[in-house]
Amino acid sequence: MNLSAKKRFMKELLQGIVNYTVDDLISFFLEDSPLSFLRAPAGYGKTACALAYLITESFAGNRGAIFFRTRAEVNQALRLLSRMISNLPRKTIDHLSVIPLVGKDFYCRYPPEKKSLVKWWCKIIHCNFLSRYRSQELMDLLSQNVYDSLKKYYNIARDLDLCPYYVYQRLSENADIVLTTHPYIIRQSFLNRIGERSIIIIDEAHNLLKSITVKISEREYAQGESLERTMHNQNIDQDRFLATLFYQRREKDLLILARYLKFQEEEGTIISERSHLIKIVPPIQIIDRLLSRSKVILMSSTLYPISLYKTLFANKRPVREHIIKGFIRSTSRRKLAILKSGITSKFNERGDKTFWRYTSIIKKIYDSIKENIIVFAPSKNFAEKLAKYIGAPILLEEPNRLMESLGISDLKDVPIIISVARSKLAEGIDLSYKGFTPRVLLVIGLPFPKITQEDRIIIQFYSKIYNIKEPLLRKSLSLSSMFSALIQTIGRIGRKKKVLLLSLTIEFLTLI
């Protein structure tokens, strides 16, 4: 398949998936470069084009993998792949194998209550399915179908009396396309499981700026070390000792030892942070191990500032970059509007006058449109003050908890809700409740992060290995984190229903 044929094939795959021209993205993916960065607005079609590219290259014998931030994003990718392939003639896709790899906590048939035990759970409970990971029938099914959800992959393996986790681990090595999550690219042992790959695509690559693989308190580390010595003194192997603690109902010791062993086995450089130990894998270490065998593409709507990513991920290597202007894009379901209110959310101007002005404008918007509004503030403290002035409730987690606390049965009865960027609500909890979703989202201020002690330690570590001054690195990381939080928050609405997105601060104008 020559270049022109690949472009035509990608366009065919994207029909009905992306309803606008993405020729620039198609050309970007098909260009040959060892390391590439793609920055495009949220909703531009990056993920769909990446999947179409992997399908296209698989027919040329180039096996690929794409790494997502969350399991939910893997699920969404399966839906997209399934829709793309349904557009093609049956004979075209025969023997195309797609394997989704996610955590053992999802694929385990009998998962433990405590997730920290999942690594050893099979042997602790002597699971009968531990060795059931070979099935020609499953291989035949997977070569003929791309299923549209992780649940279906789980059910197919379960119904064939197999262990879903181990069977997909085994089959992934020879799959044409692997869909998985970031831990599989951070940990070398995980990466080895997917076999040789010609193409590696990392979605939401900004989340790899700080790849902390494990964290443990110094106290638990010392307790775990003591338990490990006991295990060695008694000449008992690890699995058997863990099982003994389990059956003796020594739950506390079991969990401490499990966390200690996980810390010992995880990759990364150990850094001490007050009373904790963390392990971190610098971005360049991730890229170094990939470039030795694959074409690597990093993509995100928030690769900003781009110079930061070039430094931390490429470290003087040549990079092909493709930047599509803008960070936030109006779509058929999401309309963006900017209000030049003249109000700023700067910390030194957060007095009564500022909050009263915010209150007045928000209430005027509601009185004008009579639509439920959700307001995202830059911090919890800001949200609490604003909620007090407006007389509105704060929602940070599941909507049903707010319903219970207010003694109401319908979210429609709450005209204005206040939330916070980086809250669980902003990061992924479904905004809808009994089919109802607020149709107007207001973004107030820019959600710059609070620099924690952990952040300072990591900045010191990066400063040494990359030879960058700490103040410059701190400023760049803070700016990058703010962009990520802002765009993630905006992406929480407009998925199923048409909505209006508004910004009330003058700082926001500089982003568009």
In this prediction, residue 510 carries a pLDDT of: 44
CA atoms within 13 A on the CB side of 425: 25
In this prediction, residue 140 carries a pLDDT of: 86
Q: Write out pLDDT tens, residues 14-33.
A: 988 887 778 999 999 999 99
The whole-chain average pLDDT of the chain stands at 87
In this prediction, residue 92 carries a pLDDT of: 64
454-457 long-range contacts (CB < 8 A, ≥24 apart) are: 454/273, 454/278, 455/210, 457/271, 457/272, 457/273, 457/278
Task: Extract the tokens encoding 196.
Answer: 């040789």
Burial (CB count within 10 angstroms: exposed 0-12, middle 13-18, buried 19+), residue 161: exposed
Res 130 pLDDT > 90: no
Mean pLDDT of 203-227: 95
In this prediction, residue 427 carries a pLDDT of: 62
Q: Do 446 and 509 contact (CB within 8 A), yes or no?
A: no
Q: Where does the pLDDT of residue 492 fall: very low under 50, low under 70, confident under 90, or very high at 90 and above? A: low
The span from the CA of 424 to the CA of 190, in Å, is: 28
Identify the helix (H) or strand (E) that includes residue 52.
helix 46-58
Task: Extract the tokens encoding 171.
Answer: 């089959």
Mean pLDDT of 151-158: 96
The span from the CA of 376 to the CA of 404, in Å, is: 21
Res 329 pLDDT > 80: no
Q: Write out pLDDT tens, residues 242-252.
A: 999 999 999 99
Q: Where does the pLDDT of residue 166 fall: very low under 50, low under 70, confident under 90, or very high at 90 and above? A: very high
Residues 6+ apart with CB under 8 A from 394: 383, 384, 387, 417, 418, 419, 420
Least confident range from 59-63, 91-95, 167-171, 382-386: namely: 91-95
Q: Sort strands 276-281 and 211-217 into parallel, antiparallel or unpaired.
A: antiparallel
Q: Which domains does the chain have, with CATH numbers?
A: 3-209+283-323 (3.40.50.300), 211-281 (no CATH), 334-511 (3.40.50.300)
